[in-house]
Amino acid sequence: MLEFNVQTLAFLLFSLFVLGGAAGVVTTRNLIHATLYLILSLFGVAGLFVLMSAPFLAVVQVVVYIGAIAILIVFAVMLTRSMTRLRDLYNHQWAASAVVAVLLFVLLAVGVILPVWGVNGAQTPTEVSDVVADTVELGKALVDRNQYVLPFELASLLLTAAMIGAIVVARDDE
């Protein structure tokens, strides 16, 4: 089970942010409030990244997700003002969606739990290495000829294409 220490406490707190924020996103009527819940959830994910010793990803999570994507969503909500508070929050298939989501969660949870506590499960926790590659290694890997330089360049191309595409699609044609 979980041992009780500061790290576990932080994990539980951030998990509460993540899941509570997510629940707020899908149940709140007012979309501005839903976006604020989304920011809470994304912040919790950044905290989990810090706990897993990935500080660079945590900062990128705050800058890109909270600083850019969430603000973009706020803009979209405000530009579609009359749609911010719909009277009917859910479509007619919401009950089926809830069943599907719960079943999927049960399936995933069984898949996660069974290898740990199942009949042939590994009851003892496996050794976790204290040696972790740092941000310098990530930077090197992203521009290394034998690793990720090609996907890295493709990602920049994708961002440019998406930016031009978004401008063209959202432009007013008179």
Partner 1 sequence: MVPLWAYLLVAAGLFCIGAYGVLSRRNAVAVLMGVELMLNAVNINLVAFWRYLSPLNMGGQAFVAFVFVVAAAEAAVGLAIIISVYRSRRSVIVEDVDIMKW
Least distance to partner 1, CB of residue 29, Å: 10
Least distance to partner 1, CB of residue 69, Å: 5
Given a contact cutoff of 8 angstroms between Cβ atoms, the answer to whether 42 and 70 are in contact is: yes
Interface of this chain with partner 1, residues 64 to 103, rule: CB under 8 A? 64-65, 68-69, 72-73, 75-77, 79-80, 82-83, 86, 88-91, 93-94, 96-98, 100-102
118 binds partner 1 (CB under 8 A): no
Which of 120, 123, 129, 146 touches partner 1 by CB under 8 A?
129
- Which x/- pattern over 37-66 shows residues binding partner 1 (rule: CB under 8 A)? -x--xx--x--xx-xxxx-xx--xx--xx-
Least distance to partner 1, CB of residue 66, Å: 11
The encoded tokens of residue 4 equal 């009780």
Interface of this chain with partner 1, residues 144 to 163, rule: CB under 8 A? 147-148, 151, 155, 158-159, 161-163
36 binds partner 1 (CB under 8 A): no
Least distance to partner 1, CB of residue 16, Å: 10
- Most distant CA atoms of the chain, gap in Å: 67
Phi-psi label, residue 97: left if phi above 0, alpha if psi -120 to 50, beta otherwise: alpha
Q: How far is CA 20 from the centre of its chain?
A: 13
Given a contact cutoff of 8 angstroms between Cβ atoms, the answer to whether 43 and 17 are in contact is: yes
Task: List CB contacts of 26: < 8 A, sequence separation 6 or more.
Answer: 34
Task: Give the total of residues touching partner 1 (CB under 8 A).
Answer: 88
d(CA 41, CA 102): 20
Which of 126, 145, 146, 174 touches partner 1 by CB under 8 A?
126
The encoded tokens of residue 75 equal 């803009």
13 binds partner 1 (CB under 8 A): no
Between the alpha carbon of residue 42 and those of residues 48, 63, 161, the distances in Å are 10, 11, 26
